[in-house]
Amino acid sequence: MSDERDPSPYDALLLLSFGGPEGPDDVVPFLANVTRGRGIPEERLKEVGQHYFLFGGVSPINEQNRALLAALRADFAEHGLDLPVFWGNRNWAPYLTDTLRDMTLAGHRRIAVLTTSAYASYSGCRQYRENLADALAALAAEGLEPPRVDKLRHYFNDPGFVGPMADGVLTALEELDPRVRDGAHLAFTTHSIPTAAADTSGPVAGHGDGGAYVRQHLDVARLIVDAVREETGIEHPWRLVYQSRSGAPHIPWLEPDICDHLEELHDQGAPAAVMVPIGFVSDHMEVLYDLDTEATAKAAELGLPVRRSATVGADPRFATAVRELLLERAATERGSAVERCALGALGASYDLCPVGCCPARTPRPAAAGADTPL
């Protein structure tokens, strides 16, 4: 067993997230950061800007990350784990490079990194590793000695991630009229990505058949369906669907879209649906706009009763899972054999992203992988 309180060799945890605007003036520069070099049509950007303006130009994601930071610090303190927790983002302040500079100047040399993305894919994994490599290179260019960063493994199938979502589905079902509750369909949703990116997500050897991205989501959906059945005795019909598609229309992305799926459910005579955003860690703008606003309006138009279940956010069980992932990795780095906790059919994920996994369109340096020079 690993020592419950020994984080060595790590001297800090970095929470690495997407970032979001905090007021109307931030929206356009934020979108420029997100889409730089990614070929998103101008029309789509205008439309997405409107989603943010509808909410006063404020994404809830930063507040949610502050709450997660607080939950992590509380959990660490409660368990006698003396390890500082920092926060940096890819697309908005506090920017990753600034946080890593602060950490380096404060003397941190060996940093564990938790991303707010649970699954394999270019956008959810390698792109964060590229951001880390860029930030470390920027520090080196400033004459600093960059620290070593280790990304904690994918946690999609961790009980601390799946459990709160399963509870969220039970709550959402409770909110439905009892007359339609038992027949409700579960629409598991995640961010659509180009099918080419889905096919090449995860280890090279595992490519094909939708790649790791789709398989990992299907595994989580199945776990939640089973957990709900254990509680209610009912196996709800379900499907994995997608949301938030961007990019040019002629490039294939994962389908069906949640709104098309709701229409199909209505046509089939489904009595109700629960939208379950398993692809996301908190109720940020993709949830607030794409599901709570757009898809909910679509369902109202169809006369289909819907609820949206909660993401994990700052649930204390998720904070506990993060501590356990960190201690597991720390023990592994110290050369101890450890138990690796995971539910479902796929098993615990790898510590080091395999060579060539989740490839970028144009190869770029990425930190914290099997092919990363230390």
Binding site for ligand HT9 (CB under 6 A): 18, 20, 31, 34-35, 38, 40, 44, 48, 59, 61, 116-117, 121, 123-124, 191, 193, 244, 246-247, 279, 284-286
Supply the minimum distance, in Å, between the C-beta of residue 203 and Fe ion: 8
Whether residue 350 is annotated as binding a ligand: the answer is no
| CB of 228 or CB of 357, closer to ligand HT9 | 357
Q: Is beta strand 85-89 parallel, antiparallel or unpaired with respect to 12-17?
A: parallel
Q: CA 79 to CA 77: how far, in whole Å?
A: 5
Say which entry of ligand HT9, Fe ion, none residue 357 contacts (CB below 5 to 8 A, set by partner kind): Fe ion
Q: Least Å distance between CB 17 and Fe ion? A: 17
CB of 327 to ligand HT9, least distance (A): 24
Which partner, ligand HT9, Fe ion, none, binds residue 120 by CB below 5 to 8 Å per kind?
A: Fe ion
Q: Which CB sits closer to ligand HT9, 124 or 164?
A: 124
Considering the complex, state which of residue 76 and residue 156 has its C-beta at the smaller distance from ligand HT9. Answer: 156
- Name, in order, each residue with C-beta under 8 angstroms of 329's C-beta and a sequence gap of 6 or more: 10, 112, 150, 152, 153, 351
Min dist CB 230 to ligand HT9, Å, is 28
Question: Minimum distance from CB of 124 to ligand HT9 (Å)?
Answer: 4
Binding partner of residue 353 among ligand HT9, Fe ion, none, CB under 5 to 8 Å per kind?
Fe ion
Query: Was 59 annotated as part of a binding site?
Result: yes
Residue whose CB is nearest to ligand HT9 in the complex, by number: 246
Q: Taking CB within 5 to 8 Å according to partner kind, which of Fe ion, ligand HT9, none is near residue 217?
A: none
Question: CA–CA separation, 280 vs 22, rounded Å?
Answer: 20
Nearer to ligand HT9, 14 or 81 (CB): 14
Which C-beta is closer to Fe ion: that of 125 or that of 322? 125
Residues near Fe ion (CB under 5 A): 120, 125-126, 353, 357-358
- Cα separation, 234 vs 367, in Å, equals 45
User: From residue 179, how far is each of 240, 271, 300, 303, 368 by CA, in Å?
Assistant: 24, 9, 17, 15, 51
Binding partner of residue 64 among Fe ion, ligand HT9, none, CB cut-off 5 to 8 Å per kind: none
* Contacted by 125, from Fe ion, ligand HT9, none: CB < 5 to 8 Å by type: Fe ion
Query: Which lies closer to Fe ion via its Cβ, residue 126 or residue 307?
Result: 126
* 349 φ/ψ sector (left φ>0, alpha ψ -120 to 50, else beta): beta
CB of 254 to Fe ion, least distance (A): 17
Q: Pick from Fe ion, ligand HT9, none: which does 273 bind, CB < 5 to 8 A by kind?
A: none
Does residue 252 have a cis peptide bond before it, meaning omega lies within 30 degrees of 0? no
| 135 vs 331 by CB, closer to ligand HT9 | 135
339 annotated to bind ligand: no
Q: Is 191 annotated as a binding residue?
A: yes
CB-CB contact of 312 with 161 (8 Å): yes
Nearest residue to Fe ion on Cβ basis: 125
Taking the complex as a whole, the smallest distance from the CB of residue 354 to ligand HT9 amounts, in Å, to 19
Among residues 35, 75, 18, 63, the alpha carbon closest in space to that of 325 is found at 75
CB atoms within 10 A of CB 280: 22
Q: Name the minimum Å distance from CB 208 to Fe ion.
A: 16
Give dist(CA 337, CA 132) in Å, integer.
28
Which CB, 13 or 281, lies closer to ligand HT9?
Answer: 281
Binding-site residues for Fe-coproporphyrin III, in ranges, read 59, 128
Binding-site residues, in ranges, read 59, 128, 191, 286
Binding-site residues for Fe(2+), in ranges, read 191, 286
